Structure 1
Amino acid sequence: MKTALVLGLLLLPATALAQQSFQCPALPANSDLQWEQRVDREFIACKAVTQDGRQVLNVMLTTKDPDISLTRPLRAEEGMFSGKELYWYRPDLAGRNFPDAESRRITVIKLAKNHYAQVWINAGSAEELGSLQSLAQQLDVNETSAILLSAGR
């Protein structure tokens, strides 16, 4: 009986998160994108997918610092995400040349103590990159983040 109680208490945060009415932040109606989502105890991942199945925008909310090295030489544009100012960075692809590498971006935003958003864009062109950066600027993750933080405690 005690073992069942202990196991139940250990699983409580994950169960609480799964039972929350979690949804990725609202996408603009004219975006023609849909979210694919994954919920875990320590993160929430939202992947915006085009109608042909291409992942173009990814947002991961996490309680752990992603610890990604975003160095000044890779800095690209300034922007906003969920009310926070940021810099977009070209991803460090270790010297490899990938298709559309110039239109990919990544950033990490510290939203609060032990609370981060990692955002990356896999655009197919410079025009699509600008459009996805503009879309990312419109996203509000505050409500989704509150669910993650409350479930992890």
Structure 2
Amino acid sequence: MLPIRPLALLGALLCAGVAQAQTANDCPQLPPDSSVRWEAQLGPDFVFCRAVDANGNQAFAVTLGRTATFKPRRVDRTGGRVTIDGNPTWWHAPDNDLMTGTMVRETLLELPTGDYAHIIVRANDEAALARSLRDAEALHFSDVRLGSK
């Protein structure tokens, strides 16, 4: 009976590795110099990707889906126009009464696939906000596919 257990453990480890590899492909490509990694949750018609640092703190998040989950308002625009993976867009700073002391920036991209990417950045200080915005603006979505269309 002992030889079966190591084989079962090896099989479980191989399956976990495959699941992790699939999850990594569901999220956009991070910039090479980024200090964050993806944690992903798959839904029926969306993927929620959290960019977390070495301490497990969320730097920003991306929700990829077939429908837009964020409705940008012109009055919430902040700063100048930016380009994310070839898509011109604006960052928005919506009211955040629920998150006093937290700076929030959001944007919405319509990807060439017809899917949407809602990017949200939350930070407690200007330096963290600048780092997360830099990483978010360097994302690449070219290999991201939401299930089969």
Q: Please report the TM-score for the alignment, with normalisation by the length of structure 1.
A: 0.71
Residue 71 (structure 1) aligns with: 73
- Aligned to 1:143, the other structure's residue is in SS state coil
After TM superposition, give the deviation of residue 119 of structure 1 in Å: 0.2
Q: Structure 2 unaligned runs (5+)?
A: 1-18
Residue 3 (structure 1) aligns with: none
Alpha-carbon separation, structure 1, partners of 2:140 and 2:65? 15
Amino acid at match of 2:139: L
Alpha-carbon separation, structure 1, partners of 2:101 and 2:114? 35
Amino acid at match of 1:130: A
Alpha-carbon separation, structure 1, partners of 2:40 and 2:98? 29
Amino acid at match of 1:98: T
1:75-114 superposed Cα distances (whole Å, 9 cap, x missing partner)? 1122222210110001232x445122xx320111111464
- Aligned to 2:111, the other structure's residue is in SS state strand
After TM superposition, give the deviation of residue 127 of structure 1 in Å: 2.0
Q: Identity rate of aligned residues, in percent?
A: 25
After TM superposition, give the deviation of residue 128 of structure 1 in Å: 1.9
Residue 119 (structure 1) aligns with: 119
- Aligned to 1:91, the other structure's residue is in SS state coil
- Aligned to 2:140, the other structure's residue is in SS state coil
The alignment's C-alpha RMSD in Å is 2.2
- Aligned to 1:31, the other structure's residue is in SS state coil
Q: Structure 1 unaligned runs (5+)?
A: 1-17
Q: Please report the TM-score for the alignment, with normalisation by the length of structure 2.
A: 0.73
> How many residue pairs end up in the alignment?
127
Alpha-carbon separation, structure 2, partners of 1:97 and 1:118? 19
User: Contact 1:105–1:122 at 8 Å: present in 2 too?
Assistant: yes
Pair 75,31 (structure 1): closer, same or farther in 2 beyond 3 Å: same
After TM superposition, give the deviation of residue 120 of structure 1 in Å: 0.4
